Amino acid sequence: MFSVSVNDVNISYMGMSHYLKDMDEQCDTISLGGSSCGRQPDIDQQSIKEINKTDFLQTYVDDQFIPIFIPHQLKRIHFRQCKVRSKFPKLSLSNNLLEYIDASFNTFYDWRGPILNLKHLKFLDLSNNFCSNVSKIFFIGGTNLTTLLVQNNLFGFALPDDHTGETFAALTILETLILADNRIPNLPVTIFKSQKNLRTLNLSGNMLENVNFEMIHMTKLSNIDISDNRLSLFPSLNSLMI
């Protein structure tokens, strides 16, 4: 299975009906195997719902990494809107050439990590996932990321407490960071201390009342969006470096 030369896999929209005009089948029981002689037990629909509430990547040993095996030549994974509800525990990927991951529009609500062995990853889209907790070590395995899309989450519950700038510290060559619509009330001064190569920063649609994080080191920054916030004092052009 893992020796095939697949470099692009799209498994998006797995939680949807195959034909968009069809409604999901409603039934009280599901028969396994369709056995007419009743050899397979019926499963009550309520039991199915309880199973679906279980975390997809749940681990009972928090200090152990979960191995994830993927095709070695795989470069792009599309896992968009699959109705997956899970936290991100400690994950260790097999050797790979992954450059692009889109896991947006799911419910990855707790990003603990880290996720290791993403040496080639350049593009990561985890937007629209209702994430309210991102650990300070979650991104340490993605040191070659240039584009990070995490808009429409709930980072406002996590980033204001990162006074040492550890959350994004490993992303030293990041060029595009989209943090829009995250209910962020404030950002620590050093939150972006490692983003010297940042070109685009989008903080629109948050709850910021001021912009006091350091940007003087972002000599390549050319596009910053702070629209639709609660700014009482507009930052000077010198502080924005535009």
pLDDT value at residue 6:
81
pLDDT value at residue 29:
44
Architecture of the structural domain at 72-233: Alpha-Beta Horseshoe (3.80)
pLDDT value at residue 186:
96
Q: Are 176 and 204 in contact (CB under 8 A)?
A: no
- Low-confidence stretches of the chain (pLDDT beneath 50): 1-2, 18-21, 24-25, 27, 29-60, 242
pLDDT value at residue 1:
44
Report the alpha-carbon distance of residue 191 to residue 205 in Å, rounded.
18
pLDDT value at residue 12:
92
pLDDT value at residue 55:
43
Q: Domain boundaries in the chain?
A: 72-233
Neighbouring residues of 242: CB distance < 8 A, sequence distance ≥ 6: 221, 222, 224
pLDDT value at residue 72:
87
pLDDT value at residue 228:
96
